[in-house]
Amino acid sequence: MKNITRLFGLTLLLILQACSLQPVAWTPPVKPALTGAYSENNLLANSEWINLEGYVGPEDIAVGPDNYLYTSVHPSNDFSTGKVLKVSMTGQISTFCETDSWLAGLHFDTSGNLIGCDSKRGLVQIDPAGQLTVLASKDENGNTFKIPNDVDIAKDGQIYFSCTSTKYNFSTKTARRIILEAKPDGGLYRYNIETKTVETLIDSSFFGNGVALSQDDAFVLMVDLTKYRVLRHWLVGEKEGTTEIFIDNLPGLPNGISRRADGSFWLGFTTRRSDALDKLQPKVGLKKFVFGLPKWMQPKQEQFGMIMHLSATGEPIKTYYDPTGKIVSEAASIEEHDGYLYLGGDLIDHINRYKLPE
């Protein structure tokens, strides 16, 4: 009788989990072949590791005025707390700020303040002494930034940042929910440092993620992870205030994006495209069923290292891979500094360092 009761309880739980997902049908485009600029190689297998002393989740990396790497981490499998680490180029680690939260996006302003996307507080500023101040926790309409994601800063000091969701707090389960629901949420925002107000630039995203400004601050890019694309929002000129696709139908799940000194961009990927996920997206009932399954029965994220070099106008130039995922298992963010790429991710316990060919 006890076994029957347990089985009934488990079945009821799975049904409730499945019913909690409210997805829409979306049919992804046929994924591109890995040819031309997408041709597969094993270049990232030459990367080195900078270990993080047991911490996990260097989702973004910023180089400080002191030439140290700064990254936010959390304990393994616990996204509810965390700290910002200060890492020397030789791998020595110290704590810069005890945030009691995980910060996704990080970027230094011209005054040496670290601007971050705090999973508990919203858009925050950490001064050079490690003191944290909340800049914005809601948009102009009162929607809470529950998953602020990435940030970049214009030459005039204005702060541009994305928010994945104003509905859900972050967890790996929430990430799966947002991808499977395929509904617009969050968006792209600008924080005015003078008026201390927030302005919505793109009202909604599909797992809005990485943010990067163009070299002349004419436009800002935002990654739409679920839709395998990058959007461009124009800030000046004839197209000011309009949004268009910068690059579409990417061969992986795009995550972080950063600008190079020459105006081109680095685009990082969580992993490559999954045929199973693409086939699942149009099927609402099946998506609900999969979401209701116990975690151990759900598809796992493939370990597959992948970054892409994009031109200033959105054309793919070259893609770098670790197909085995043994050295670079994900590349959620990319920070270029002194001839190296520093790669981060939300599930790894190290920073990858890749020497760029001369």
pLDDT tens track for 168-221: 999 989 999 999 999 999 999 999 999 999 999 999 999 999 999 999 999 999
pLDDT tens track for 132-162: 999 999 999 999 999 999 999 999 999 999 9
Question: What percentage of residues in the chain have a pLDDT greater than 70?
Answer: 95
- Alpha-carbon dihedral sign for residues 226, 135, 72, 295: negative
Look at residue 244 and give its three-state secondary structure: strand
Domain annotation for the chain: domains and CATH numbers: 2-51+145-350 (2.120.10.30)
Contacts by 233-241, CB closer than 8 A, 24 or more apart: 233/188, 233/201, 233/202
More confident of the two residues 90 and 145: 145
User: How far is 70 from 348, CA to CA, in rounded Å?
Assistant: 16
User: How far is 304 from 323, CA to CA, in rounded Å?
Assistant: 5
- Alpha-carbon dihedral sign for residues 130, 132, 133, 138: positive
- Tell me if 162 sits within 8 A of 186, measured CB to CB: yes
Among 348, 344, 21, 345, which residue's Cα sits nearest to residue 174?
21
pLDDT category, 15, cuts 50, 70, 90? low
User: How far is 166 from 200, CA to CA, in rounded Å?
Assistant: 13
- Write down the number of H helices and E strands in the chain: 4, 24
* Tokens representing residue 109 in the block: 């302003």
pLDDT category, 5, cuts 50, 70, 90? very low
> Could you give the residue ranges of the DSSP H alpha helices within the chain?
2-20, 172-181, 275-280, 284-292
Query: The whole model's pTM is what?
Result: 0.95
